[in-house]
Amino acid sequence: MMKKILYLFAAALLSVAAASCSSKATTDDGREITASPEAGPDGIVMLTQGDYYTAGQPVDRLTVIDFNAKWCGPCRAFAPVFEEAAEKYKGKVTFVSVDIDSVPDMMPEFGLEAIIPTVLIIRPDGSYVSYVGTGDLMPYDKFASLIDTNLNTK
């Protein structure tokens, strides 16, 4: 009886693993790419657990990721700046919001400490730069300048 239960459990695990792998793709060198969800009406993609970027992964276009949390005051202060930039650069830059309480394992993937707000700018070749705190991100003109500089980086 115990063997039967173990076999059923193992079969269930295998079917779940197979189903979760079917929606993922890999690059030529075998790195996993998880498809990103669609952007909302404000132009911002809201990531959830299971949908995330990995360090060194090439992206279609410049991607700006805001690591934040609902309880974080500086994150809430930066949110309107991020939203304004998402509107201005819609179609040129991908804007992604990551609530670190919902997706806790993405910051360590990029070697980042759990200090928020942190903004990660990923260039199409997969290279990236990070900015911690709001000093480099606010007011809007400073943030837009960072985006423009990275848009022009080849």
Q: Catalytic residues, which ones?
A: 72, 75
Helix residue ranges per DSSP H, 22-154 = 73-88, 106-109, 140-151
Nearest residue to 44 via CA among 24, 59, 66, 61: 66
d(CA 117, CA 2): 50
As to burial, measured by CB atoms within 10 angstroms (0-12 exposed, 13-18 middle, 19+ buried), residue 109 is middle
